[in-house]
Amino acid sequence: MKEKILEIIKESMDFVSGEEISKSLGVSRAAIWKHMKALKEEGYIIEAVSKKGYKLLKSPDLLTPKEVLPLINTRFIGREIIYFDVTDSTNNVARQYAMEGFSEGLVVIAEEQTKGKGRLGRPWETKSRQSIAFSVVLRPFIKPQDAPGITIVLGTAVCRALRNITSLKAGIKWPNDVIINGKKVCGILTEMSSEADAVNYIIAGVGINVNTSDFPEELKNIATSLKIEGKKEYERRVLLAEVLYQLESLYKDFKEQGLKNILEEFKSYSVTLNKRVKAASIKGTIEGLACDITGEGLLVIRLDNGEERKIVSGDVSVRGLGTYV
């Protein structure tokens, strides 16, 4: 009922009387008042004037389906959205839905994550109504060894979207950190379920610091937000819609051509290439020059002795990248 009332006042550019809404929906005016009160508590600014009725002045920047779906301009990614005020991790929830057979393109969104995580199991804090945290269910017909390409696709999509909406020069630290002015603004985490020669599904998780004003002391030198960098607030739903649009466009290209048409753009955003780096993994730590990214999305590091190593995954730090490591 509340959603129907919201739809009515959204469609009207002027006041709508309580009597008119009551007749349209077949409920009492007292019930209308109750639902209006609930909408105001959610952040909708509604003007109520005696003998004139109700008028919607402003909608809150919520990531609910009713606020996001009207902005979505895709064929399948984000056409179905499952929203939570609070959940442990959107990746965990999306994985469960994927296991239950939900379609490719399902997006799980949460205003707040209590156990959000990044690569290597590191925690990723999501502040309510300040960040964007979502996960997408993808079902590409690819081999497991080609799955790292999805991270390249995601990073490119996020960079495109941030540059389009904010004009800030977002860059990518291989493989999955989006940074602005040397600090992390977005983290990407892809998790896969596969057989020996085929991927069952991939959960693509993205967390973006949008309107966060401050960070804990231990993160101030390495984390930032769009608000801090752009010195203004941004509409999260608009940004989310743009990310999903760019993701679908690049993902379709990836399924047809692999990284052939995407890699050069990814490289143009890279803050890792042609820099001295240190890469730590379970096999040990190596140092050298990040000289290339392969067609499969692997980082190539040239050691001081001239040997070149391909890195599938690992913790890569870039020398000279401001305060970010």
pLDDT for residue 268: 97
Q: What per-residue confidence (pLDDT) applies to 60?
A: 86
Q: What Cα–Cα distance (Å) separates residue 121 from each residue in 50, 88, 112, 175, 234?
A: 55, 14, 18, 15, 29
Q: How many CB atoms lie within 10 A of CB 25?
A: 15
CA atoms within 13 A on the CB side of 248: 17
Q: 282-322 pLDDT, tens per residue?
A: 778 899 999 999 999 999 999 999 999 999 877 888 876 65
Strand residue runs (E) in 139-174:
171-173
pLDDT digits (tens, 9 = 90+) for 126-144: 666 899 999 999 999 999 9
The C-alpha atoms of residue 148 and residue 142 are separated, in whole angstroms, by: 11
The full set of domains in the chain, from first to last, is: 2-58 (1.10.10.10), 65-269 (3.30.930.10), 276-318 (2.30.30.100)
Tokens of 128: 């309510």
β-strand partners of 49: 53
Which residues are part of a known binding site for biotin? Answer: 89-91, 113, 184
As annotated, the binding site includes 89-91, 113, 184
pLDDT per position as a tens digit, 235-255: 999 999 999 999 999 999 999
Residue-wise pLDDT tens digits, 68-104: 999 999 999 999 999 999 999 999 999 999 999 999 9
pLDDT in tens, 268-293: 999 999 999 999 877 788 999 999 99
pLDDT for res 126 = 64
Tell me what pLDDT residue 267 has.
97
Average pLDDT over residues 183-206: 96
The arithmetic mean of pLDDT across residues 48-61, rounded, is: 90
CA–CA separation, 135 and 189 (whole Å): 9
